[in-house]
């Protein structure tokens, strides 16, 4: 939806032009129930502000324009992540370029928003095979970590990659999404530190669970399981010891979920005579069962099943 504002564009009013632009910015931020109208108003206000208001001599004007550009581009990316982009690709790129020029490359938040915007356009134009190599470079852990610091925005990027991968049936993008999600977990664990394991174990386990539930292949799941076992044994159990009230106690339900899911996966692989995979997932189930407390019925049940189920 394009919002026409002929009176302002023809400059037929004497009221302060900056005030009118600010009023439009305000309207754009208040129309929460209609994203298309909100972004259209904000986009028009940005173009008017750029044309009618001097940003070179007033830092406040420059700050306001940058702020609204960031709002517009980030809102657009969130809509794209839901597969409902509103701005044309050329508008996204031109607005991101304008924001970069205004920020002069020094603002980390601006760099992050511009990276998301450029990622959006890249993904909207994505063709499997043709763009796989570029995707591996753009969404490599090294490049993503250089461009982005906010873990919530990083998760938004990973979710968007996975959604795009699903729509295109593209394993390349799915793999890159998983690498970013694993990086988020690792950075979260590092930021918590050893002294905060108990307080943050539930948060970390919820991250693992959310990622795991979104995976579709056993190869992807095995990567998450490997990282999860490392976290549970090297961080959580090391911090908890035998303390039944510690961080390991707080996440027993999560551990039980992964143990049971691993066992069910082993059974499915065994039924289809995938002997090597069945053996791997049997052992994974026991690795998780080892972290369950003695009174947990699932623990002994999995031990028993592990002993009696033959590999076909």
| Residue 236 in domain | no
Give 55: exposed, middle or buried? Use CB within 10 Å, 0-12, 13-18, 19+.
Answer: middle
For position 5, what pLDDT does the model report?
A: 47
Tokens of 213: 């539930």
For position 155, what pLDDT does the model report?
A: 95
CA dist., res. 252 & res. 140, Å (int): 34
| Residue 193 in domain | no
| Residue 140 in domain | no
CA angle 82, 77, 213 (to 5 degrees): 45
Domain count, the chain: 1
For position 275, what pLDDT does the model report?
A: 95
Q: What is the pLDDT along the chain (312 residues), one digit of tens a residue?
A: 444 444 445 554 445 777 777 878 887 777 767 778 888 888 888 888 888 777 776 688 888 889 999 999 999 999 999 999 999 999 999 999 999 988 876 688 999 999 999 999 999 999 988 899 999 999 999 999 999 999 999 999 999 999 999 989 899 999 999 999 999 999 998 877 665 676 788 889 999 999 999 898 999 999 999 999 999 998 887 766 555 556 788 899 999 999 999 999 999 999 999 999 999 999 999 999 999 998 999 999 999 999 999 988
| Residue 112 in domain | yes
Segments forming the whole domain that contains residue 85: 11-127
Residue 36 in contact with residue 1, Cβ under 8 Å? yes
For position 249, what pLDDT does the model report?
A: 82
For position 244, what pLDDT does the model report?
A: 52
List the end-to-end C-alpha distance of the chain, in Å, as a whole number.
60
| Residue 220 in domain | no
Work out the number of other CB atoms within 10 angstroms of the CB of residue 94: 12
| Residue 61 in domain | yes
For position 1, what pLDDT does the model report?
A: 44
For position 158, what pLDDT does the model report?
A: 96
| Residue 120 in domain | yes
Rg (CA), the chain: 25
Transcribe 244-305 into DSSP letters.
TTSHHHHTHHHHHHHHHHHHHHHHHHHHTT-HHHHHHHHHHHHHHHTTS-TT-HHHHHHHHH
């Amino acid at each position: 939806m394009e919002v026409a504002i002929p009176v302002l564009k023809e400059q037929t009013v004497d009221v302060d032009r900056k005030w009118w632009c600010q009023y439009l910015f305000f309207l754009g931020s208040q129309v929460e129930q209609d994203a298309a109208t909100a972004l259209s108003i904000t986009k028009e206000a940005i173009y008017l502000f750029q044309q009618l208001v001097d940003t070179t001599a007033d830092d406040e004007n420059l700050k306001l324009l940058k702020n609204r550009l960031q709002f517009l581009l980030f809102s657009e990316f969130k809509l794209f992540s839901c597969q409902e982009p509103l701005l044309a690709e050329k508008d996204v790129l031109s607005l991101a370029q304008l924001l970069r020029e205004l920020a002069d490359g020094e603002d980390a938040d601006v760099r992050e928003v511009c990276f998301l915007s450029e990622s959006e356009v890249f993904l909207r134009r994505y063709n499997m095979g043709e763009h796989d190599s570029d995707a591996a470079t753009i969404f490599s852990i090294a490049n993503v970590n250089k461009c982005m610091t906010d873990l919530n925005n990083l998760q938004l990027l990973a979710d968007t990659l996975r959604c795009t991968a699903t729509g295109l049936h593209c394993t390349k993008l799915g793999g890159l999404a998983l690498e970013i999600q694993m990086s988020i977990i690792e950075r979260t664990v590092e930021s918590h530190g050893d002294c905060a394991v108990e307080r943050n174990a539930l948060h970390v386990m919820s991250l693992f669970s959310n990622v795991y539930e979104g995976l579709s292949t056993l190869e992807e799941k095995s990567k998450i399981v490997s990282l999860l076992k490392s976290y549970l044994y090297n961080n959580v159990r090391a911090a908890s010891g035998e303390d039944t009230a510690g961080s390991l106690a707080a996440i027993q339900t999560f551990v039980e979920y992964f143990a049971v899911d691993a066992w069910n996966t082993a059974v499915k692989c065994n039924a289809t005579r995938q002997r090597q995979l069945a053996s791997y997932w049997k052992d994974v189930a026991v690795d998780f069962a080892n972290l369950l407390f003695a009174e947990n019925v699932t623990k002994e049940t999995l031990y028993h099943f592990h002993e009696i189920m033959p590999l076909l």
